[in-house]
Amino acid sequence: MKNIHQEVAKLTDEQAINMTEQYGAHNYHPLHVNITRAEGIFAYDGTGKQYIDCIGSYSAVANGHLSKYVLDTLREQLDYVTLTSRAVYTSELALFLKTICEFTGMDMACPMNTGAEAVETAIKLARKWAYTVKGVEHDKAEILVGHENFHGRTTTIVGFSSEAQYKEGFGPFTPGFTLVPFGDIEAVKAKITGNTAAILLEPIQAEGGILFPEPGYMAELRKVCTENNVLLIWDEIQTGFCRTGKKFAWEHEDAKPDLMCLGKALGGGVMPVAAVVGSKEVVGVFKPGDHGSTFGGNPLACVVGMAAMEEMNALDLAKKSELMGQRLLEGIKALPHDCIEDVRGRGLLVGLEVKEGIDTKALSQAFLDEGVLTKETRSRTFRFAPPLTIDETWVDEIILRTSRALDAVSKVTKQAHTAGAV
């Protein structure tokens, strides 16, 4: 049989890009860079050029690329068992469930593979709880969701997106979801009815452009849910696991959820691992046959998830994220560039929004030229979510390279305006 790694290594960057475009579905528009290896906070293309990874696999490599502790744990598990399905018990799953419940402060967990699966699981739990515990009439349960939300790509989830492209051509959609303006507590109160099962929100809308609700909103939402016997579900798939300077973003206020969707960083940067955690009252409504996953909770994923959480605790990545994030936020805010519209963030989740009219495609290329991987989200916002293991020296380097990238685009924009005037 072929040596697969040797076959991969033979490809040039351009060959890899062209082959992907020829044989792959065009459901992504990647940056024009081919990453062949990565370590820590860095990624490298086939020519050996080094990039500071500020995409961070959308927060999934919180522990850094190729964390030694995570990889050593994974390699050791390969000598025992990797996959059994949930037809049997495993010691790895038992310890994983205990560990994640202790890490999150929740009662029970349901393991899955991806963030979208976790959200789908939470939706099923919320609906069954509404019918079996709250007493909502059969098939009448409603879930409130936020404008500009992003919870995944399944047909159910895109059906309650407010982004037109996510929905176009994929209907009909699952009913039972009501959009409310993100951060508007009065709008939430106005939409709650006796059929409302849950409110599903991101504490920070990362994909929406690093958008924050007003201070106090999360705590007030918790109170409203309690008063109305409605479940509060936080989607912490991007914001969880120390990304915002706390273990979870809801901890910035008194806003403990009834259910929480987890993924991305739980996989330690090496494989998909996800889960829903919550109270026994809610997670306990599942009975055998209600829900499942062949790969969810597999032994390999379980030890990887435990290793990721263990390292987060041991290295105090929440505190590191808080300190390095504040340095990054203040540094970018201090840049004297007229093209900057706004800079906002919490921990190592920072968004740089440029003014309308700025060539964001050119800015993406300028970042690549400077050796920084970052990508535009909605609303002309570039996201900075590097591994949480980053230090002061490289935070300062991100700020310096960002300044140079903005300088390059500002010059191009000025030249274009001058040429247009002539």
Which uninterrupted H or E stretch holds 227?
Answer: helix 217-227
Which residue among the candidates 235, 258, 367, 384 is catalytic per the annotation?
235
Region of 314 please: left (phi>0), alpha (psi -120 to 50) or beta: alpha
Q: Which residues pair with 52 in a beta bridge?
A: 42, 372
Q: By C-alpha distance, which of 114, 272, 284, 118 is closest to 200? A: 118
User: Residue 189 is encoded by which pair of tokens?
Assistant: 């109160």
**Cis amide linkage into residue 172, ω under 30° from 0:** yes
Rounded CA-CA distance 180/190 in Å is: 9
Across 288-399, the runs of DSSP E, i.e. the strands, are: 340-346, 349-354, 372-373, 381-384
Sign, CA torsion 118/119/120/125? positive
Q: Which residues pair with 45 in a beta bridge?
A: 35
Q: Does the annotation count 182 as an active-site position? A: no
Which residue among the candidates 42, 96, 103, 150 is catalytic per the annotation?
150
3-class secondary-structure state, position 404 = helix
3-class secondary-structure state, position 143 = strand
Q: Read off φ and ψ for residue 75, nearest 5 degrees.
A: -60, -40
Which residue among the candidates 128, 246, 256, 264 is catalytic per the annotation?
264
User: Residue 340 is encoded by which pair of tokens?
Assistant: 């900057």
Q: Does the annotation count 223 as an active-site position? A: no
Q: Which residues pair with 276 in a beta bridge?
A: 110, 261
Q: By C-alpha distance, which of 145, 54, 64, 60 is closest to 351? A: 54
Q: Does the annotation count 264 as an active-site position? A: yes
Q: Enumerate the active-site residues.
A: 150, 235, 264
